[in-house]
Structure 1
Amino acid sequence: MTPEEILPEPLLEAIRGRAAGYDRDNTFFFEDLEELTAAGYLNLFVPASDGGLGLGLEAAAQCQRRLATAAPATALAINMHLVWTGVAHVLAARGDYSLGFVLQEAAHGEIFAFGNSEAGNDSVLFDSKTAAVPLPGGAYSFTGTKIFTSLSPAWTRLGIFGKDGQAREGEGELVHGFITREAAGYAILDDWNTLGMRASQSNTTVLDGAEVPAERIFRKLPVGPNADPLIFAIFACFETLLAAVYTGIGERALNLGVEAVKRRTSFKNAGRSYAQDPDIRWKIAEAAMAMDNLYPQLLTVSRDVDALVEHGPQWFPKLVGLKVNATETARRVVDMAIRVSGGSSYFRGSELERLYRDVLAGMFHPSDNESAHNTVANAWLGPLED
């Protein structure tokens, strides 16, 4: 199925029509979620044999790109469910079925969310400020604070991780598992009042002895970088799907800018269309060329993940490079669209005004610019010498 078949125009327009209200009222996209669920959208990665669409990362990324042209915050939050189902798919394609239950439960309507981010943890997946304490029988208790937990009002399964500081002879061990909505020992704060991406409702989640049973603990890894397939799968899905969302934002902004330029006329030049102004035309061309550079990068990286292409140590530079290129390109294109659209785009309620606020969130997602450049430099030049 194509993105246009999965997200037909009437559904996309209905979602676009609600985006401004969610943003204005700082409310969660319940109606969008209901309609996307009914359309089977949350089962993009679920095998067709289990009632899903059986797609790979390339197709899912193009769907997310399309969804983001209508409602970036909705697309960003849906990303978190698709990251986990995508991780399960990517692992299974490589012979690792440890997250098979994720796809099975998603097929039955469970909604997964990503609860790994921690304030001040620039080690991202390679260390944790959350304490994971082993319990009898293989269960663990988690205590810590997770930020930017998208889908907070709706998730039924939350992926979390923490550190057992006593494991591996005191070197520590990172423990990954899932809690359910019904679990005790956690609280969701009502603290999502942000500049943009408001409908995602990515509230803070406080873990206070939240217990994960043994059967829900799916990985134990050493502290620090490692070659476990789980790490690759998370990075591949997280960075690629993020890039897809911001590519969609840039695409929509470019189209809005073109529409505005064709619509606007110059009083000074006797009603001549701004589409005939050489400076305006240059700006539109610059934005279009930037987007034309981004589209094939998103396509190639996602396609290579699906095709099991082995890029070796260059995989992580490719993934973080895609994310940074997408978020920075989208930001520049939104800025351009506002510049050529005139002062009306500066008013609250303008779609470009909302996109301007939404696109700024791109700088906060991992990997940030500094971390990404360090990753790429290490791949090409080797690590810094002591």
Structure 2
Amino acid sequence: MNDFDPTTFLPDDLLDRIRERAPIHDRENTFPQQDLEDLRDAGYLSILVPTERGGAGLGLAEAAILQQRLAGAAPATALAINMHLVWTGVAKVFSDRGVPGLEFVQDGAVAGEVFAFGISEGGNDLVLFGSDTDAVPDGDGGYAFTGTKIFTSLAPVWTRLGLHGLDTTSADAPQLVFAFIDRTDAVTTSDDWDTLGMRATQSRTTRLDGAVAEADHVVRRIPPGPSPDPIVFGIFSVFEILLASVYTGIAHRALELAVATAQKRHSKKTGAAYSQDPDIRWRIADMSIAYDALPPQIAALARDVDDRVDHGARWFPLLSGVKHRAITMAKQVVDEAMLVAGGGSYFSANELSRLYRDVLAGAFHPSDPESAHSTAASALLGPIES
């Protein structure tokens, strides 16, 4: 970790190209195809794949640093790639712990496949612990999935969709089924992504009508509800840490822009740079103090996942907590940066204006603020008495 150089995987010239394209995709509401191609060529899709399977062999701790760096250039690109990295991260959690079943994800990532995340469903606040999607066994170990998934990032380009559904017909039903499907005629991607921010993720609605996961791509069958199964821990840990990383990267970029603006703006009253104004200095210091807390927290939790530290039941408040703190901090920092930059930041062409819209998406990712607080309260006070 001490020798890790993020510029090896995200060199400055690559980030410069990605940053230049970000406002175009935001304005035109298009997917950053060239970003994806450049990142694929740089081996970024397989950074979490072990070297023995052809990947870069990085840990979650290094991936978190890279995602912060990528988000500073193009938040929506980073968030979209996050969803692919979640599945390769889960595969790493499995392989690190000697659990078979996701080797095809690692091999696919090395081959250039793009894995999307099909868990979210409208109105399903159970998230990982339940599903409104029907999973019907085909008798040969495979499943046909019928239902609707929302916020499917990478919608125009994914080659395999990792998803879950509920099997209500087998002898041991109900069982949650986690599996991967290919893009076929049984999958319909709606062109419905027209949002306030994070527009380039193209996280469109996905409708499944008997979409088949073959037996060798059915990863897990577990009872609904909280579970110690590695699929639950793998998804939750990697998802929360990488999400926290993206929004922390946004905050870092907002702080950079605020500092640069304060140094070049001058007061008509005094002629001095805004960087000499005590109120501006306090505001930027407050932003820095808030931001500085998050990178070490993310790094510590990511290393614990990599090192297979057993926090037991504490894992869930730790993970939901760091994600919640990251999005709360990032929104605060971007708010403050807008004030430092002044009225010019209100124009849509200003980078801070885009960051302001992008950062708002953080509150809608699991764990949402209510879930994070409920998890923390239950860990400290026990469950609510019935």
The TM-score with structure 1 as length reference comes to 0.98
1:14-163 alignment, distance < 5 Å: 14-163=17-166
SS in 2 for 1:155: coil
AA paired with 2:177? Answer: V
Q: Distance in 2 between matches of 1:20 and 1:278?
A: 33
Native 8 Å contact 1:162 1:174 kept in 2 = yes
SS in 1 for 2:293: helix
SS in 2 for 1:136: coil
Q: Distance in 1 between matches of 2:215 and 2:301?
A: 35
State the Cα distance separating 1:156 from its structure 2 match.
Answer: 0.4
AA paired with 1:349? Answer: A
AA paired with 1:44? Answer: I
Q: Which deviations, in whole Å up to 9, do the C-alpha atoms of 1:305-339 show, x marking residues without a partner?
A: 11111111111111000100111100000000000
1:279-318 alignment, distance < 5 Å: 279-318=279-318
The TM-score with structure 2 as length reference comes to 0.98
State the Cα distance separating 1:49 from its structure 2 match.
Answer: 2.2
1:1-386 alignment, distance < 5 Å: 1-167=4-170, 172-181=174-183, 183-269=184-270, 271-386=271-386
Q: Distance in 2 between matches of 1:6 and 1:219?
A: 32
Q: Distance in 1 between matches of 2:119 and 2:232?
A: 13
SS in 1 for 2:291: helix
Q: Distance in 1 between matches of 2:69 and 2:100?
A: 30
Q: Distance in 2 between matches of 1:142 and 1:247?
A: 35
SS in 1 for 2:140: helix
Native 8 Å contact 2:316 2:375 kept in 1 = yes
AA paired with 1:113? Answer: A
State the Cα distance separating 1:110 from its structure 2 match.
Answer: 1.0
Change (3 A) 1:355 1:312: same
SS in 2 for 1:137: coil
State the Cα distance separating 1:194 from its structure 2 match.
Answer: 0.4
SS in 1 for 2:323: helix
AA paired with 2:108? Answer: E
State the Cα distance separating 1:138 from its structure 2 match.
Answer: 1.8
State the Cα distance separating 1:196 from its structure 2 match.
Answer: 0.4
SS in 2 for 1:272: coil
State the Cα distance separating 1:51 from its structure 2 match.
Answer: 2.4
Q: Distance in 2 between matches of 1:134 and 1:342?
A: 58
State the Cα distance separating 1:168 from its structure 2 match.
Answer: 5.3
Q: Distance in 2 between matches of 1:142 and 1:202?
A: 20
* Runs of at least 5 residues in structure 1 that lack an aligned partner in the other structure: none
SS in 2 for 1:223: coil
State the Cα distance separating 1:202 from its structure 2 match.
Answer: 0.5
State the Cα distance separating 1:169 from its structure 2 match.
Answer: 5.2
Q: Distance in 2 between matches of 1:175 and 1:308?
A: 25
SS in 2 for 1:244: helix
SS in 2 for 1:258: helix
Native 8 Å contact 2:138 2:144 kept in 1 = yes
Q: Distance in 1 between matches of 2:216 and 2:40?
A: 27
Matched-pair identity in %: 57
State the Cα distance separating 1:166 from its structure 2 match.
Answer: 3.0
Q: Which deviations, in whole Å up to 9, do the C-alpha atoms of 1:281-316 show, x marking residues without a partner?
A: 111000000011111111111111111111111111
Q: Distance in 2 between matches of 1:166 and 1:51?
A: 40
Q: Which deviations, in whole Å up to 9, do the C-alpha atoms of 1:79-100 show, x marking residues without a partner?
A: 0100000000011111112111
Native 8 Å contact 1:250 1:330 kept in 2 = yes
SS in 2 for 1:380: helix
Q: Distance in 2 between matches of 1:169 and 1:21?
A: 51
Q: Distance in 1 between matches of 2:5 and 2:119?
A: 32
State the Cα distance separating 1:134 from its structure 2 match.
Answer: 1.4
Q: Which deviations, in whole Å up to 9, do the C-alpha atoms of 1:93-118 show, x marking residues without a partner?
A: 11112111110111111110101100
Count of matched residue positions in the alignment of Structure 1 and Structure 2: 383
Native 8 Å contact 1:184 1:211 kept in 2 = no
Native 8 Å contact 2:330 2:359 kept in 1 = yes
* Runs of at least 5 residues in structure 2 that lack an aligned partner in the other structure: none
SS in 2 for 1:122: coil
SS in 2 for 1:266: coil
Q: Distance in 2 between matches of 1:47 and 1:214?
A: 24
State the Cα distance separating 1:167 from its structure 2 match.
Answer: 3.7
